Structure 1
Amino acid sequence: MVNCVVQKSMSTMMTGTMCYLYNETEYEASGRSFDDEFNTRFCKEKNEFFSVNAVRDAFNISYVKTDWTFSMITRDPIDRFVSGYVDRCVRLLQKNATSQCNGCGLNMTCFIEKEYERLMEISFKRKTRRTMEDAHFFPQVWHCDLNEEAEFYEFIQYSNNAEDRLMPQLEDMLKRQKVPRGSIEFIKNELLNKKSSHSTAGTPAKRFYYSRLVKSPYLLEYIVKMFYYDFLRFHYELPPGF
């Protein structure tokens, strides 16, 4: 199995899932939880690659139908953006990380306008230096060579309550790939019963900024322009009026 890890789309938990499956015995013996992957990755440089081509070359994976699955957790673009903003901007600013988030402080309008400009510059190859914020706010379709590899992917939709939508899809894929029942139960326990330490779901800040964004036609227009192809590719509804 190959999983495309995308920031703010359960990246920490999926990193843990794939690391666990890489060496279940060693992972369980370590006493780690998937959330520990946020600070120190147990499988760093062991089962990680920077491109799909590198994975294909390493394991000689054909471009025709094989026993391999390529998967990616996708997330509603508005929900993902707000989660990223609260995590990378609001929380870090409270820790006096004043250089974060385009220097905009808690001004979400300023951040969105500047990040849109950055995305346009990168898109037209006028800027190549990328920040940690860019990694969290890049369109999902910009990840994992989707422009060339999309037909090989299985897209699993994120849900704040993993039991609603995400886990049934993921469990189905794991079963098809013949992952043992005990291993699936271990993964389910991590995903359903343990919350990532940098999750923003259900927090007052997430509710506040989400409400502010969806009530602003001006800001929503920027979000739609930034993530238009995420909406289309992953079948998420555009905001009313767009």
Structure 2
Amino acid sequence: MFWRNYIFPLCIGALILGTYLYRFLFPEVRFTVFLNDREVNFTGVEDFIPPYVNIVSDFFVASNYKMMSCGIRKSMSQLATNTMCLLHDEARFLRENHNLNETWAEQQSCQDNQEFRKPSEDLLNNPETIRFAFIRDPIERFVSLYLDKCVKEESCWACKSDMRCVVQEIYKSLKHLKNHKDRNPIPTYMDLHAAPLSWNCNFDKDLSKWNLLMMGADAEERKSSILQLGNIMKRQGVSDNVVQMVQEQSLAGETAHSTHKSTRRLEAERQVREDPVVRDYLHKIYFFDYLVFLFNRQRLDAKYQTDFWKVPEQN
């Protein structure tokens, strides 16, 4: 009788109190993302790198054409820089014999110009301002990062060409940035190159204002995006000669650190397809990029090709 009247209710009460205390101390992780103009809540994804952790970005300005771009590392950022440098001061760009296929090793005067690197408030608030950025399939982007920074430069911590080590270090470093974002931690060289696309360009504030140009590994996808850029430039009053120059040089050239035709890339792509450890980390790091930017999810594992998340009921 004593157990039934006193101890049992006490145990039930302690269990309920413990449940509420656990939920208070360890709240369910929730990310909210707008997909197709609909709010989607993601729960139970505490192991994933969330979208929209804004980091320092590279902006490029051609105020005479009311244009600005953002360079996302390992997503044709060099082409964005060179194109905007040309538009910022066409005469000087040509006088100094620059071209659109130069690499970071080539110093251009525009890069030290604050008017080129920092958009003014007038430009940002002008409804006629056009913004564009090149984006790239996240896994393709990772492969390019791995080949350029890890295999070629050996800049990936102590990993060298160990891809499992690389994805683990990227994940750990981005987690640290996310967990301490209120303290404004300074991203490392590798953080800036590996961060999800959504962490760039102040996309957390004004993604809808950007023209996003998808740059794929094959020539047809590249051509489509360059033609889109040409149309944007024409609308902003760029001369036909300059538009033609941008399109021809962009389609013909390959930068020195381009990797999309290399034998090593084929091997890296094979490991990305077949290595379960690498795939697990890549899903955790870049899954939300596939949703935010509406990339084709066929290269992801079967679960992540489905809409497995919780969608709020419509009133």
Question: Does TM, scored on the shorter chain, surpass 0.5?
Answer: yes
1:168 corresponding residue in structure 2: 227
| Secondary structure of 2:112's aligned partner | coil
Aligned to 2:169: 114
Cα separation, 2, equivalents of 1:130 and 1:8: 16
Task: State the AA in 2 paired with 1:34.
Answer: L
The one-letter code of the counterpart of 1:150 is: L
Summarize the Cα distance change of 1:91–1:214 in structure 2 as closer, same or farther, 3 Å threshold. same
| Runs of 4 or more consecutive aligned structure 1 residues displaced over 6 Å after TM superposition | none
How far off is 1:90 after superposition? 0.3
2: distance between equivalents of 1:214 and 1:157? 21
* 3-state SS of paired residue (1:101): coil
What SS does the corresponding residue of 1:71 show, helix, strand or coil? Answer: strand
1:61 lines up with 2:124 in the alignment: yes
Q: Is 1:181 aligned to residue 240 of structure 2?
A: yes
CA-to-aligned-CA distance 1:136-194 (integer Å, 9 cap, x gap): 11111101111001121111101232654211221221122121110001111220111
Q: Counterparts in 2 of 1:68-79, with a 5 A limit?
A: 68-79=129-140
Question: Superposed, which structure 2 residues align to 1:86-125 within 5 Å?
Answer: 86-93=147-154, 100-125=155-180
Partners of 1:13 and 1:191 within 8 A in 2: yes
TM-score normalised by the chain length of structure 2:
0.69
Q: Which residue in the other structure is 2:250 paired with? A: 191
**Correspondence 1:42 to 2:109:** yes
Whole-angstrom CA distance in 1 between matches of 2:231 and 2:208:
19
Equivalent in the alignment of 1:134: 191
Kindly provide the CA deviation profile for residues 84-137 of structure 1, in whole angstroms up to 9, marking residues without a partner as x: 1100010113xxxxxx20211211101101110111110111782422121111
TM-score (norm 1): 0.88
Partner SS state of residue 102, structure 2: helix
What SS class does the counterpart of residue 221 from structure 1 fall into? helix
Q: Would you say how many aligned residue pairs link Structure 1 and Structure 2?
A: 229
Percent identity over the alignment? 23
Are the aligned partners of 1:159 and 1:165 in contact in 2 as well (CA < 8 Å)?
no
Unaligned stretches of 5+ residues in structure 2: 1-66, 305-315
Aligned equivalents of 1:35 and 1:89: distance in 2? Answer: 23
Equivalent position of 1:223 in the other structure: 282
CA distance in 1 between counterparts of 2:201 and 2:222 reads 26
Distance of aligned partners of 1:163 and 1:155 in 2 relative to their CA distance in 1, 3 Å threshold: closer
Question: Do 1:102 and 1:115's aligned partners in 2 also have CA atoms closer than 8 Å?
Answer: no
1:8 equivalent in structure 2: 74
1:60 to partner: Cα distance: 4.6
Instruction: Quote the RMSD (CA, aligned, Å).
Output: 1.8
Q: Which runs of 5+ in 1 are unaligned?
A: 94-99
Post-superposition CA distance 1:1-42 (Å, at most 9, x none): 110111111111110000001111111111112233512233
Task: Report the 3-state secondary structure (helix = DSSP H, G, I; strand = E; otherwise coil) of the residue aligned with 1:155.
Answer: strand
CA distance in 2, matches of 1:197, 1:234: 28
CA contact (8 A) 1:71 1:153 kept: yes
Which residue number corresponds to residue 96 of structure 1? none
Counterpart CA distance in 1 for 2:161 and 2:150 is 7
**Rg comparison, structure with higher value:** 2
SS at match of 2:95: helix
CA contact (8 A) 2:88 2:116 kept: no
Structure 1 residue 212: Cα displacement: 0.7
